Amino acid sequence: MIRNLNTYRRPGFTLVEILVVIAIIAILAALVVGGVVSFMSKGPEIQTRNDLLQLSTALDKFYAKYKFYPPDQIKLCANYSQYNVVADKASLAYIGTMWPNLGQFTNVPWAGSTAIPATGIVLEGDQCLVFFLGGPPVGSTPGLMGGFSLNPRDPISIAGGVDRERFMDFDTGRLVNRPTVAYPTGHPFPSMFDRSDKRMPYVYFSSGRYGYDPTTPNSAGGFTPAGILTNPVIPYRELLLPPYNFHQKSRFQIISAGRDGLYGPGGVWTQATAGSMSLQGRDDMTSFYESKMGSP
């Protein structure tokens, strides 16, 4: 059979077709790479938002059982008789409400195998968050929380194999015993660190049983990551002057320092003023606002 040489074309792509394909591939690659880079850059933010959601859900479970949210400061003493000042009454009120059958207790191992000094040990908000949701520390294993036993007369003891309750199962790799003034090498009760590069703990403020009180040390003194900051973190409120209308005033506030590892100053904040947020607080994330604190 004789081919018609006037109509025959050699199979293959022309130079123009090849260039068009290369251009399309380049555009698609740029879109994919851009999407991956954007996702990776927002990855820690997404994970932090997930943390805030999980912590909030666990706190609501705690509230459903005890009818108050965990305090953002508490003093734990091994013996009832060691609570001997007026300021201790609030701590005893929380303990008595959660475990009314404890009575005038003795030798309660609140800190697991770590001995508590006779003067007691004070937990700040970040440590309260982990303790009340996860239970007491277990042995010398960093970050392992034992949960609370269901024995109404012995809620802390690890021995005996009794059933235990946790409101949240913490990732042990995320719990760190941060230093404080009283414990420069690490507080016996761990804090939950956020997903940011700086690894800062989640700050926790609570309405508790008594509501936010800006005149008391736990709220006015705020949170100090190393116990030495001049301007510690304080809760966020909507109004400058009394009556102080705190965000989530009947619940709680959880604050992440964001990627820069610097907490905002707290105090007055509204969505309308978010754009003028101080530089160190713009990338902070909280349990009461769905975007960064510096995003209107």
Residue 208 lies in a domain: yes
Give 222's pLDDT tier (boundaries 50, 70, 90).
Answer: low
pLDDT band at 218 (very low <50, low <70, confident <90, very high): very low
Q: Tell me the C-alpha to C-alpha distance, in Å, between residue 9 and each of 114, 190, 238.
A: 86, 76, 76
- Residue 282 counted as domain residue: yes
208, 68 in Cβ contact below 8 A? yes
Burial of 258 (0-12, 13-18, 19+ CB in 10 A): buried
36 within a domain of the structure (yes/no): no
Tell me the C-alpha distance between 121 and 110, whole Å: 9
**Separation of alpha carbons 83 and 100, rounded Å:** 16
Q: Which of 251, 236, 249 is nearest to 70 (CA)?
A: 251
Give the integer Cα–Cα distance in Å for 170 and 191: 10
Average pLDDT, the chain: 82
Give the list of residues 6+ apart from residue 91 with CB closer than 8 angstroms, or none.
71, 74, 75, 76, 83
Question: Taking each helix axis from N to C terminus, what angle separates 15-66 and 125-134, rounded to the nearest 10 degrees?
Answer: 80
Region of residue 286 (left: phi > 0; alpha: psi -120 to 50; beta: else): beta
Whether 210 is covered by a domain: the verdict is: yes
The predicted structure's pLDDT at residue 291: 93
- 10 Å Cβ neighbour count for 294? 19
Helix or strand run (H / E) with residue 75: strand 73-76
Q: What's the pLDDT at 37?
A: 47
Report phi then psi at 67, rounded to 5.
70, 20
The model's pLDDT over 109-166, given as tens digits with 9 standing for 90+, comes to 898 878 889 999 999 899 999 999 999 888 766 677 888 988 878 888 765 556 788 9
In a domain, 77, yes or no: yes
Q: Which domain holds residue 268?
A: 46-286
What the block records as the tokens of 287 is 């349990």
For the chain, the domain total comes to 1
The answer to whether residue 195 is domain-embedded is: yes
Nearest to 111, CA basis, from 210, 193, 183, 204? 183
pLDDT 10s digits, 227-285: 444 457 888 888 766 666 889 989 999 999 999 888 888 888 999 999 999 888 999 99
Pairing of strands 236-237, 267-268: parallel
Instruction: Determine what percent of the chain falls in helix, strand and coil, rounding each to the nearest 5.
Output: 35, 15, 55
> Which distant-in-sequence residues (6+ apart) come within 8 Å of 62 by Cβ?
69, 70, 132, 133, 167
Query: Which amino acid makes up residue 74?
Result: I
Token output for 25: 């591939």
274 belongs to a structural domain: yes
CA-CA distance, 89 to 69, in Å (whole number)?
17
Q: How confident is the model at residue 56 (pLDDT cuts 50, 70, 90)?
A: very high
Q: CA-CA distances (angstroms) from residue 128 to 85, 90, 194?
A: 21, 14, 16
**Residue 98 lies inside a defined structural domain of this protein:** yes
